[in-house]
Amino acid sequence: MTTVQNRFYGKLPKIGIRPTIDGRRNGVRESLEDMTMNLAKSVANLLTENLRHYNGEPVKCVIADTCIGGVAEAAQTAAKFSSEGVGVSITVTPCWCYGSETMDMTPDIPKAVWGFNGTERPGAVYLAAVLAGHNQKGIPAFGIYGKDVQDLSDTSIPLDVQEKLLQFAKAGLVVASIKGKSYLSMGSVSMGIAGSTVNPDFFQDYLGMRNEYIDMTEFVRRMDEEIYDKEEFHRALNWVKEYCQEGPDNNSADMQRTREQKDKDWEVSVKMTLIARDLMVGNPSLEKIGYGEEALGHNAIAAGFQGQRQWTDHFPNGDFMETILNSSFDWNGIRPPYIMATENDSLNGVSMLFGHLLTNTAQVFADVRTYWSPEAVERVTGYKPEGLAENGFIHLINSGSAALDGTGEQTKEGKPAIKPFWEITEDEAQKCLNATSWRPASTGYFRGGGFSSDFLTKGNMEVTAFRINLVKGLGPVLQIAEGYTVELPEEVHHTLDQRTDPTWPTTWFVPNLTGEGAFKDVYSVMNNWGANHCVVSYGHIGSELITLASMLRIPVNMHNVSEEQIFRPSAWGMFGTKDPEAADYRACQNFGPLYR
């Protein structure tokens, strides 16, 4: 099993399992002890076998020392959980127990209750009672109730229950994993982009995160004073020379940088990468050269780099740094990505963090550049789009943060995929590198030069595009579009790409249409996008994002996930059942941010 050391201060969060029981002794409790504890053990096994942290470590579960029959055992369990670093709580029971006496009252730890569907003992009656208690006390919890009746002796977990337990646990772990970590702003607001006006109230109240800020002059200081690991720098530069093929210069002859300047740009790009990473998570080797403070880093689980304009008007752009940090491999081998947003768009950065922690995969950060209607494509290229592309498509393209994993050169069952780092082979990493060329940056935009990664994402990958937006008076909202990457005929791709900046990576994206609202057609998805950027994550992860957003009280303003897949705390139903979107807004507003 491949794992790497945790990069952040503090323990990786654990999942606490709480077997609750009818407290009546002399018969009732005793008859249920084994069954109840065994259910807890089955849940723990399921989660440990299926879930891993970003660094590859299997998720650990902590089971209460005893079944919980009343408040004393509830308190003992809370104490154990707090000393063990539990960040997610799951209560399981096959029987009736005393609702508010056994419930978990820690408000900012995501909670679920699995009430066994049996009829010899009333587990579901407890489930309903304890959820009512949670709702009445304003501590929302997810209710899990299997569809089919099970025999009391059956400690297996039905598939529908497994799915809900995993979906809840994955999202809950994201909440627990980001808590207390930092978003590091490198620089300030890029070209007036709202997402890079980093909003500390959002980070603090909704995510439980802190904001750290450095000025981009810190990069200059560390370069000039050689505050980086020189051995690593030389190793990295050699690796770049061997594996990062420089592509053709698209600038007109008078705008091209000289060979000497380009060679220098490569050196600066590599140094920037080491420095940004060290700023995020520290580096013990800096202590050895006398920089103990710098060695500590900022405990940053995500970061953003302003780049444009002050930096890029003078220095090489951040494209290489952003791309390599976000990818699952570099000169140190295959490893988890570091989450880094272009243009310091912190809202896209947080979205990437969500996608990364839900899936453990690398993320593609992109400008939402162009909606191509089938008519416009035909007019410009003579080609009438067909298949997945028949209703038109959206051009996702960006100068920096698209991970090289976004080439689609990794495979799962023979199909293009983006995988967690521990599943990526050396050969697949090499293929991602081979599919990428590094084009000298457009010097009209980037006066200081640099190199942009140029690749084309393979088609037919299931992906989800999403993004958080902030609205004054409302707060954050999340938008989600599940869909596919598409492959266009080569000359069609070429013609459309040439109209933009062909030195940047392209992903052709089609959302799944529902025929309604924002998903009436592809144009409406583009038209409803809330900002200039989106994140593309591998897989259809809309339902997981919805579960996560409800835990953080972030309403979802558009999605194309089917209703059966939506899983939110039971309280959400109390805000209306006919129109779940409106109910979500009301519930989020009512409960308010998790860390208010």
Q: Pick out the residues of the known binding site for Mn(2+).
A: 343, 367, 533
CA distances in angstroms from 177 to 59, 328, 475, listed in the order given: 12, 19, 22
Are 403 and 323 within 8 A, CB to CB? yes
Q: Which is nearer to ligand CVU, 354 or 446 (CB)?
A: 446
Task: List Cβ neighbours of 515 (8 Å cut-off, separation of 6 or more).
Answer: none
**Which residues is 391 bridged to in the sheet?**
none
- Least separation in angstroms between residue 367's CB and Mn ion is 4
Residues 550, 573, 165: CA angle, nearest 5 degrees: 55
The length of the chain is 596
Taking CB within 5 to 8 Å according to partner kind, which of ligand CVU, Mn ion, none is near residue 512? none
Residue in 73, 104, 278, 367 binding ligand CVU, rule: CB under 6 A = 367
Binding-site residues, in ranges, read 343, 367, 533
Q: Compose the 517-556 pattern: x for residues touching ligand CVU by CB under 6 A, - for all others.
A: ---------------x------------------------
- Least separation in angstroms between residue 501's CB and ligand CVU is 7
Q: Residues 384 to 443: which contact ligand CVU by CB under 6 A?
A: 399
Taking CB within 5 to 8 Å according to partner kind, which of ligand CVU, Mn ion, none is near residue 482? none
Q: Which is nearer to Mn ion, 282 or 400 (CB)?
A: 400
State the sign of the Cα–Cα–Cα–Cα dihedral 476, 362, 17, 570: positive
Rg of the chain in Å (alpha carbons): 25
Q: What letter does residue 104 receive in the DSSP assignment?
A: -
Residues 155, 156, 157: CA angle, nearest 5 degrees: 120
The Cα–Cα gap between 245 and 453 comes to 10
Among the listed residues 393, 361, 388, the one whose alpha carbon sits nearest the alpha carbon of residue 376 = 393
- Least separation in angstroms between residue 260's CB and ligand CVU is 24
Q: Compose the 307-346 pattern: x for residues touching ligand CVU by CB under 6 A, - for all others.
A: -x----------------------------------x---
- Least separation in angstroms between residue 192's CB and Mn ion is 12
Q: Which is nearer to Mn ion, 419 or 439 (CB)?
A: 439
Among the listed residues 278, 272, 365, the one whose alpha carbon sits nearest the alpha carbon of residue 321 = 272
- Least separation in angstroms between residue 369's CB and ligand CVU is 8
- Least separation in angstroms between residue 342's CB and Mn ion is 6
Q: Which is nearer to ligand CVU, 251 or 543 (CB)?
A: 251
Closest chain position to ligand CVU (CB): 445
3-state secondary structure at position 276: helix
Q: Which is nearer to ligand CVU, 243 or 445 (CB)?
A: 445
Among the listed residues 97, 92, 100, 101, the one whose alpha carbon sits nearest the alpha carbon of residue 150 = 92
Taking CB within 5 to 8 Å according to partner kind, which of ligand CVU, Mn ion, none is near residue 445? ligand CVU
Task: List Cβ neighbours of 545 (8 Å cut-off, separation of 6 or more).
Answer: 354, 355, 358, 464, 466, 478, 480, 556, 559
Residue in 383, 445, 585, 595 binding ligand CVU, rule: CB under 6 A = 445
Q: Which is nearer to ligand CVU, 17 or 470 (CB)?
A: 470
Taking CB within 5 to 8 Å according to partner kind, which of Mn ion, ligand CVU, none is near residue 302? none
Which residues of this protein are in contact with Mn ion, per CB under 5 A? 367
- Least separation in angstroms between residue 504's CB and ligand CVU is 9
Q: Compose the 149-188 pattern: x for residues touching ligand CVU by CB under 6 A, - for all others.
A: ----------------------------------------
Q: Which is nearer to ligand CVU, 150 or 317 (CB)?
A: 317
The Cα–Cα gap between 36 and 392 comes to 54
- What residue spans of 210-303 are helical by DSSP H? 217-224, 230-243, 259-281, 284-288, 292-296
Task: List Cβ neighbours of 23 (8 Å cut-off, separation of 6 or more).
Answer: 29, 69, 70, 97, 98, 101
Taking CB within 5 to 8 Å according to partner kind, which of Mn ion, ligand CVU, none is near residue 308? ligand CVU
CA distances in angstroms from 157 to 115, 143, 232, 562, listed in the order given: 12, 15, 49, 24
Task: Cite the active site residues.
Answer: 343, 367
State the residues that interact with ligand CVU by CB under 6 A.
193, 308, 343, 367, 399, 445, 532
